[in-house]
């Protein structure tokens, strides 16, 4: 049924369309819009005429071309022009077609671009002079059309005038997608249209206020072609030609227009009447646009240059709470998929005065691409959110790009920099320019972060020159962030950071016209954390000069904490000026004095009085206080002398432990529990405590022997395990098959610091060993630890056995692979009562609270709360399984990733096939590949946004100082390890011919090409495929998808590497009573082996396989996986089956060649080991298999020739059903 398809008449009745064109031209039209309003693939789909789209546009334009040329020939003084009409399509990118799902869409940006590009080609081939994107009710559709036009013009090298015409649907003066006229213009002005205006929907009378507003905003020519009044009850139009001409006169009288015409209901006589009236007036003069300005938009427009904050300073406030790194609440909501509540956070920011909303969904456990798109799609449908512009913020460029494609407004992208190299920098900036986005450019280049004034200016100027001269990026849409760094640290090289930023800001704005400057203000004063008045005062002085004198424009700040410079006390203001501008060497000391006085004043106010600051060294304290200070600060230098002095003042050496030492450790415990001390400090405190006790032990032994002899007892007949003086006894064990114990060791130290006797029975502990030790030591609590997923099942076995044998001790569960949900669903049902609950402990900082609650008077209430919480979690979990839809295994295979290996060819043949032993790599070789972020996570140090991650964690207000000390200690130990050769690296690499199996689910590897020819593999790697239904239409992935089938000479690699020597080093520090360096050794061994893995993978890519010989990425880009290929590990999300390690070990003989063994639960030994498969295809990607169904598990067990019960046990954590 083609009824209503008027565009089709250009093909079926060309004489009718030609006659209509001619009549309008004869009536006085200078420009004729083509009969192509709906001639797109999308709109023609309603008539099943998609294949005619090009022909409809070509013929529609060709017929108009003929008639225009005829009229021009008759009167060459009045040339006539063909305007190629691009309608809005019958779909919208910004509005959901579903009431239930605001994230649903029936068209994508890329689909719109594709359909508009074909339309443009047809119109231009047919002879159009001008392209008109018209009747725009959704600006996102218009942006897609303009993007397509831009691609066409770039491809052809042509320069065609472009018109854009919006449609305001009613007297609200907004488009259907909610934008004001000004916001609509701000969103599309990047395309540099020749003419912008309004058409359709309303008659001229109703358009008046909106035409006036738009005319005041538009910097180019302005048009209107209204309807002939409003439609009548029958859908017709009643305005006569005279009516329409009269109603349009107001536009001419006020000088608002350069072009006028008619839309619905306007006939040739209407055009003739309008032309006659219009000829009596002068057209609108082009406005003086003045200085280039950054003009953003959401549903409403925002000229950044016109923004003032509550202090009257020109400063743009960017709200940070929709950033996963900036808001824990937002992160939890996003991880839970609670987008509705996340929108409430966004609304609150706007209500509180945010001019722009920052959106960042970066998290390793979140599909950033899908999450960014879903959040933006929902946000643009929320008027209270989307009325302001968005700042799209992501570490991966493709996530930012995906978000842009759902934003109808003009956004800011945060961020790009020369760190990626000039070529990629230009590529990214060019694409963002096409989308019309403003950009934040960080002062980074290939050498790193700019710190000094000269570096800031140099990098920003270079970036500016590249952007403006090579990319032709609008300078007014550039925001430079020259890096606000910390002052007042006492380090000479930091003293000038404040004045460097201020001076650099001024110089950058002088030599880079029209740019904006942004910065993270909180970094400046983090050294004075905890003293708000001091920090606010420093910020006030700094911002005063930055904003009012140097021209800083943008920042993330809490407005209620901002002060005017004049509001700061005069003496403090002078000190702040001296500090910020580094005017003298005493500036930091002076500010510290102010800080000390303010701290004292704070304490005094709490007590209702005043305190005079007394300057005194802690070495002047009495011995007990000195010991407390040493414990809190982790200072072991003076401990022997101070303990001896304290011993002299007590009757018994034990009193020193029970008195000042335990008092000090109680302070440490209180500070740690309240978050005022951090894990590295606690471990250092434990080191001091052990050293003090070790000093006292000989005196205690001597006293004990003397007392026993005096009482006539045998001094050698003593109980070495007397533990009656402890607050409680805790057994700690890493379960069977698991060799990882760094987390367990940390918990043991923390509990020990709080006077709990800890029996640590080691790693790879069987259920029998754990329960026998618990009975032998008569412990109060049992703690189980594990890192690998098989450990989860082992913990369930221990819990069941504890229940069977009638144990009554509470069971604590911890370790990287454990979770509260797994504990609630899988462990607690097997072992939980009011006497002996099973409880998940997130990290070491929570262990003391949990144990003290279990052994204290509040146990009953504490356990009841846990029981209630776990019951709710179990209900939610099982309800979630019911709600979650899974494809059958066959369905998921049908929707697998189908790579066209002819279009996207496989990597070349490796240069070094077979097995290679790696034993000549030194520790120094891998140091450049260190990723320090997991190191700080091990020590439970986490910076808050914007100071997440290394090295920004050093700037964090709360943990920065301690993180720097920890880092410096790590560096010192690394030097010692390297000098003593305490650790060494060894590994093995295998590169083999490989093909995907016929069933498409496994990968066969062959010894060599001759083996491939026989078709008989030496080994087969079995893979798992995703089955959980996806929100988007993505493929259901398996690692097998990345390997080509038989017929292609594809390959797959693998490696296993280890860091040897850690166990010996740990034993050494245990003997020295040094838990701090013991744990530090384990943490560094982990970092060395992870760096070794990164090093080996790079050598594979560039040399051994050699598919990327020109690769030249810095460490930051390596850690961001900016190379081709992946290295997923068996037992991890992309292949969560640990039994595949045995196949790898058999293939590369890891034990024989490198000495790396597998435990009973397939944990690698030594613990500091890494293994991985290596895929080279550029479309290979990391993913999470997620939960799988019974049908796939049955098939998988069959392929692996493994008993189904054993298979289900190994896959237990990812089953979407309950095992029998």
Give the model confidence (pLDDT) of 1055-1070 as tens digits.
999 999 999 999 998 8
Rounded to an integer, what distance in angstroms lies between the CA atom of residue 1093 and that of residue 1099?
10
Assign 679 a pLDDT band (cuts: 50, 70, 90): low
Kindly tell me if the per-residue pLDDT of 449 is higher than 90: no
Q: What is the pLDDT of residues 922-974, one digit of tens each?
A: 999 999 999 998 898 888 788 876 777 888 888 888 888 888 989 999 999 99
Q: What is the pLDDT of residues 229-286, one digit of tens each?
A: 887 766 788 899 999 999 999 999 999 999 999 999 999 999 999 999 999 999 999 9
3-state secondary structure of 1053: strand
Q: What is the pLDDT of residues 1039-1058, one digit of tens each?
A: 999 999 999 999 999 999 99
| Mean of pLDDT over the chain | 90
Q: How many CB atoms lie within 10 A of CB 797?
A: 15
Least confident residue range of 19-33, 49-63, 783-797: 783-797
Alpha helices per DSSP H over 754-806: 767-777, 790-804
Assign 611 a pLDDT band (cuts: 50, 70, 90): very low
> What pLDDT, on a 0 to 100 scale, did the predictor assign at position 614?
46
Which residue is listed with tokens 């990626």? 420
> What pLDDT, on a 0 to 100 scale, did the predictor assign at position 698?
86
> What pLDDT, on a 0 to 100 scale, did the predictor assign at position 802?
95
> What pLDDT, on a 0 to 100 scale, did the predictor assign at position 565?
85
Q: What average pLDDT does range 565-586 have in this prediction? A: 91
Percent of the chain whose pLDDT exceeds 70: 96
More confident residue, 556 or 373: 373
Q: What average pLDDT does range 38-53 have in this prediction? A: 94
- Beta-strand relationship, 356-359 and 838-840: unpaired
Q: What average pLDDT does range 405-419 have in this prediction? A: 95
| Contact residues for 346 (Cβ-Cβ < 8 A; gap 6+) | 319, 321, 322, 357, 379, 382, 385
More confident residue, 158 or 619: 158
Rounded to an integer, what distance in angstroms lies between the CA atom of residue 948 and that of residue 360?
13
Q: What average pLDDT does range 369-396 have in this prediction? A: 93
Q: What angle do CA 495, 498, 503 make, to 5 degrees?
A: 120
> What pLDDT, on a 0 to 100 scale, did the predictor assign at position 720?
59
Torsion angle defined by CA atoms of residues 1093, 1094, 1098 and 1099, in that order, rounded to the nearest 10 degrees: -30
| Contact residues for 438 (Cβ-Cβ < 8 A; gap 6+) | 294, 296, 410, 411, 412, 413, 477, 478, 479
- Can you give the three-state secondary structure of 28-63, one letter per residue? CCCEEECCCCCCCHHHHHHHCCHHHHHHHHHHHHHH
Q: What average pLDDT does range 1000-1022 have in this prediction? A: 94
Kindly tell me if the per-residue pLDDT of 559 is higher than 70: no
Q: What average pLDDT does range 168-174 have in this prediction? A: 83
> What pLDDT, on a 0 to 100 scale, did the predictor assign at position 736?
87
3-state secondary structure of 903: coil
Q: What is the pLDDT of residues 791-832, one digit of tens each?
A: 888 999 999 999 999 999 999 999 877 889 889 998 999 999
Q: Which helix (H) or strand (E) holds 238?
A: none
- Range among 160-164, 441-445, 659-663, 875-879 with highest mean pLDDT value: 160-164
Rounded to an integer, what distance in angstroms lies between the CA atom of residue 481 and that of residue 508?
11
Kindly tell me if the per-residue pLDDT of 292 is higher than 50: yes
> What pLDDT, on a 0 to 100 scale, did the predictor assign at position 678?
67
Rounded to an integer, what distance in angstroms lies between the CA atom of residue 155 and that of residue 648?
89
Ramachandran bin of 732, using left for φ above 0, alpha for ψ from -120 to 50, beta for the remaining angles: beta
Long-range contact set of residues 671-676: C-beta below 8 Å, sequence gap at least 24: 671/632, 672/750, 672/753, 672/845, 672/848, 673/845, 673/848, 673/849, 675/845
Beta bridge partners, 198, equal: 166, 224
| Whether 791 is catalytic | yes
Least confident residue range of 165-174, 860-869, 1147-1156: 165-174
Rounded to an integer, what distance in angstroms lies between the CA atom of residue 681 and that of residue 679?
5
Kindly tell me if the per-residue pLDDT of 1010 is higher than 70: yes
CA 838 to chain centre: 33
Selected catalytic residue, list 740, 836, 1051, 1177? 740
Selected catalytic residue, list 525, 537, 791, 1038? 791
Phi and psi dihedrals of 67, rounded to 5? -70, -40
Q: How many CB atoms lie within 10 A of CB 107?
A: 19
The pair of three-digit structure tokens given for residue 393, joined into one six-digit string = 């913020």
Kindly tell me if the per-residue pLDDT of 326 is higher than 70: no
Selected catalytic residue, list 138, 500, 738, 760? 738
> What pLDDT, on a 0 to 100 scale, did the predictor assign at position 1102?
94
> What pLDDT, on a 0 to 100 scale, did the predictor assign at position 760?
92
Kindly tell me if the per-residue pLDDT of 1194 is higher than 60: yes
> What pLDDT, on a 0 to 100 scale, did the predictor assign at position 672?
67
Kindly tell me if the per-residue pLDDT of 560 is higher than 70: no
Which of 490, 115, 515, 79 is closest to 294 using CA atoms?
515
370-381 burial string, b = 16+ CB within 10 Å, else e? bbbbbbbbbbbb
> What pLDDT, on a 0 to 100 scale, did the predictor assign at position 170?
78
DSSP 8-state secondary structure symbol assigned to residue 544: I
Kindly tell me if the per-residue pLDDT of 613 is higher than 50: no
| Interhelix angle 1075-1099/742-753, nearest 10 degrees | 160
Q: How many CB atoms lie within 10 A of CB 1070?
A: 13
Decide: 683 and 1078 in contact? Cβ < 8 Å.
no
Helix and strand totals (H; E) in the chain: 44, 32
Q: What is the pLDDT of residues 690-699, one digit of tens each?
A: 788 888 878 8
| Whether 270 is catalytic | no
Which of 841, 837, 829, 828 is closest to 859 using CA atoms?
837
Long-range contact set of residues 17-21: C-beta below 8 Å, sequence gap at least 24: 17/60, 17/63, 18/63, 18/66, 18/67, 21/63, 21/64, 21/67, 21/68
Phi and psi dihedrals of 782, rounded to 5? -115, 130
Q: What average pLDDT does range 761-788 have in this prediction? A: 92
Q: What is the pLDDT of residues 505-515, one digit of tens each?
A: 999 999 999 99
| Whether 305 is catalytic | no
Least confident residue range of 41-55, 132-146, 439-453, 689-703: 689-703
Kindly tell me if the per-residue pLDDT of 167 is higher than 50: yes
> What pLDDT, on a 0 to 100 scale, did the predictor assign at position 609?
56
């Amino acid at each position: 049924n083609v009824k209503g398809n008027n565009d089709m008449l250009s093909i079926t009745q060309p004489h009718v369309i030609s006659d209509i064109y001619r009549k309008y031209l004869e009536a006085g039209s200078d420009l004729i819009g083509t009969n192509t309003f709906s001639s797109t693939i999308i709109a023609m789909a309603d008539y099943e005429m998609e294949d005619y789209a090009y022909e409809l546009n070509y013929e529609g334009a060709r017929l108009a071309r003929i008639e225009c040329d005829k009229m021009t020939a008759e009167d060459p003084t009045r040339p006539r022009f063909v305007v190629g009409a691009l309608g809005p399509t019958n779909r919208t990118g910004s509005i959901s077609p579903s009431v239930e799902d605001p994230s649903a869409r029936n068209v994508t940006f890329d689909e719109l671009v594709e359909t508009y590009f074909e339309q443009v080609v047809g119109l231009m081939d047919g002879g159009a002079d001008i392209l008109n994107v018209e009747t725009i009710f959704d600006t996102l559709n218009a942006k897609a059309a303009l993007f397509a036009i831009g691609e066409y013009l770039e491809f052809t090298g042509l320069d065609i005038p472009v018109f854009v015409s919006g449609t305001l649907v009613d007297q609200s003066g907004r488009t259907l997608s909610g934008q004001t006229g000004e916001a609509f213009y701000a969103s599309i002005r990047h395309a540099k249209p020749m003419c912008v205006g309004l058409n359709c929907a309303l008659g001229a009378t109703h358009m008046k206020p909106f035409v006036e507003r738009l005319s005041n905003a538009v910097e180019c020519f302005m048009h209107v072609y209204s309807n002939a009044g409003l439609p009548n009850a029958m859908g017709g139009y009643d305005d006569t030609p005279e009516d329409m001409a009269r109603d349009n006169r107001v536009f001419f009288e006020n000088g608002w227009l350069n072009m006028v015409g008619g839309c619905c209901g306007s006939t040739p006589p209407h055009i003739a009447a309008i032309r006659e009236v219009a000829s009596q007036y002068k057209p609108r003069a082009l406005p003086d646009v003045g200085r280039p300005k950054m003009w953003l938009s959401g549903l409403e427009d925002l000229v950044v240059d016109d923004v003032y904050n509550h202090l009257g300073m020109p400063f743009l406030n960017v709200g940070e709470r929709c950033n996963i790194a900036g808001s824990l609440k937002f992160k939890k909501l996003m991880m839970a998929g609670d987008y509705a509540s996340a929108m409430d956070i966004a609304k609150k920011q706007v209500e509180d005065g945010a001019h722009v909303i920052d959106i960042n969904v970066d998290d390793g456990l979140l599909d950033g691409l899908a999450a960014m798109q879903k959040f933006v799609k929902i946000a643009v449908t929320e008027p209270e959110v989307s009325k302001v512009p968005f700042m799209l913020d992501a570490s991966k460029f493709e996530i930012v790009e995906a978000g842009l494609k759902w934003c109808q407004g003009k956004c800011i992208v945060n961020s790009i920099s020369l760190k990626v190299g000039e070529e990629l920098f230009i590529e990214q900036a060019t694409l963002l320019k096409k989308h019309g986005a403003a950009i934040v450019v960080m002062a980074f280049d290939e050498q790193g972060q700019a710190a000094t004034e000269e570096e800031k200016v140099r990098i920003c100027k270079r970036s500016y020159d590249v952007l403006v001269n090579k990319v032709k990026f609008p300078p007014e849409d550039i925001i430079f962030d020259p890096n606000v760094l910390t002052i007042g640290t006492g380090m000479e090289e930091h003293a000038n950071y404040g004045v460097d930023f201020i001076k650099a800001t001024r110089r950058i704005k002088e030599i880079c016209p029209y740019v904006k400057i942004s910065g993270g203000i909180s970094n400046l004063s983090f050294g004075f954390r905890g003293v708000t008045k001091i920090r606010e005062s420093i910020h006030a002085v700094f911002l005063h000069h930055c904003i009012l004198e140097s021209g800083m424009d943008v920042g993330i700040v809490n407005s209620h904490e901002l002060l005017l410079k004049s509001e700061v006390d005069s003496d403090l203001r002078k000190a702040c000026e001296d500090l910020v501008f580094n005017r003298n060497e005493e500036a930091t000391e002076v500010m510290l004095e102010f800080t000390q006085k303010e701290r004292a004043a704070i304490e005094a106010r709490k007590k209702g009085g005043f305190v005079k600051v007394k300057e005194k060294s802690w070495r002047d304290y009495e011995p007990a206080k000195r010991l407390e200070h040493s414990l809190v600060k982790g200072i072991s230098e003076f401990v022997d002398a101070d303990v001896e002095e304290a011993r002299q003042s007590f009757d018994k050496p034990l009193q020193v432990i029970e008195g000042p030492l335990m008092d000090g450790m109680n302070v440490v415990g209180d500070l740690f529990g309240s978050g005022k001390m951090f894990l590295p400090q606690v471990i250092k405190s434990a080191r001091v405590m052990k050293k003090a006790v070790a000093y006292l032990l000989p005196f205690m032994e001597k006293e004990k022997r003397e007392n026993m002899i005096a009482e006539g007892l045998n001094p050698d007949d003593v109980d070495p395990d007397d533990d009656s003086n402890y607050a409680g006894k805790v057994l700690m064990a890493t379960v069977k098959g698991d060799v990882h114990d760094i987390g367990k060791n940390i918990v043991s130290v923390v509990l020990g610091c709080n006077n709990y006797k800890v029996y640590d029975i080691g790693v790879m502990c069987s259920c029998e060993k754990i329960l026998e030790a618990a009975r032998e030591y008569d412990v109060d609590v049992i703690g189980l630890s594990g890192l690998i997923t098989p450990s989860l099942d082992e913990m369930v076995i221990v819990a069941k056995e504890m229940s069977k044998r009638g144990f009554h001790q509470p069971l604590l569960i911890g370790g990287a692979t454990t979770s509260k949900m797994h504990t609630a669903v899988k462990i607690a049902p097997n072992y939980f009562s009011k006497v002996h609950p099973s409880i998940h402990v997130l990290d070491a900082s929570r262990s003391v609270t949990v144990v003290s609650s279990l052994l204290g008077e509040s146990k009953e209430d504490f356990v009841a709360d846990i029981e209630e919480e776990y019951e709710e979690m179990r209900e939610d979990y099982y309800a979630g399984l019911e709600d979650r839809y899974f494809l059958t295994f066959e369905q998921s295979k049908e929707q697998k990733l189908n790579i066209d290996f002819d279009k996207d060819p496989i990597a070349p043949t490796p240069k070094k096939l077979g097995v290679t032993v790696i034993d000549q790599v030194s520790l120094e070789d891998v140091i450049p590949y260190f990723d320090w972020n997991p190191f700080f996570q091990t020590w439970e140090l986490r910076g808050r946004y914007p100071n997440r991650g290394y090295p920004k964690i050093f700037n964090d207000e709360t943990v920065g100082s301690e993180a720097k000390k920890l880092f410096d200690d790590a560096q010192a130990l690394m030097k010692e390890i390297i000098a003593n050769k305490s650790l060494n690296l060894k590994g093995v690499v295998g590169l083999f011919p490989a093909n995907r199996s016929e069933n498409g689910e496994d990968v066969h590897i062959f010894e060599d090409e001759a083996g491939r020819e026989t078709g008989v593999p030496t080994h087969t790697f079995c893979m798992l495929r995703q089955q959980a239904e996806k929100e988007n239409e993505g493929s259901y992935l398996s690692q097998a998808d990345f390997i080509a089938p038989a017929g292609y000479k594809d390959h797959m690699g693998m490696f296993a590497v280890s860091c040897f020597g850690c166990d010996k080093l740990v034993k050494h520090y245990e003997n020295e009573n040094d838990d701090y360096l013991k744990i530090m050794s384990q943490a560094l061994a982990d970092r060395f082996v992870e760096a070794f893995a990164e090093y080996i993978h790079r050598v594979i890519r560039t040399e051994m396989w050699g598919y990327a010989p020109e690769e030249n990425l810095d460490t930051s880009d390596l850690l961001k996986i900016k190379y081709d290929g992946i290295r997923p590990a068996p037992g991890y999300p992309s292949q969560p089956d640990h039994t595949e390690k045995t196949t790898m070990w058999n293939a590369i003989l890891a034990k024989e060649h490198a000495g790396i063994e597998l435990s009973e639960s397939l944990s690698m030994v030594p613990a500091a080991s890494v293994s991985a498969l290596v895929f080279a295809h550029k479309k290979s990607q990391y993913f999470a298999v997620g939960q799988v169904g019974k049908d796939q598990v049955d098939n998988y067990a069959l392929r692996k020739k493994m008993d189904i019960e054993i298979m289900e046990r190994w896959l237990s954590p990812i089953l979407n059903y309950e095992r029998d």
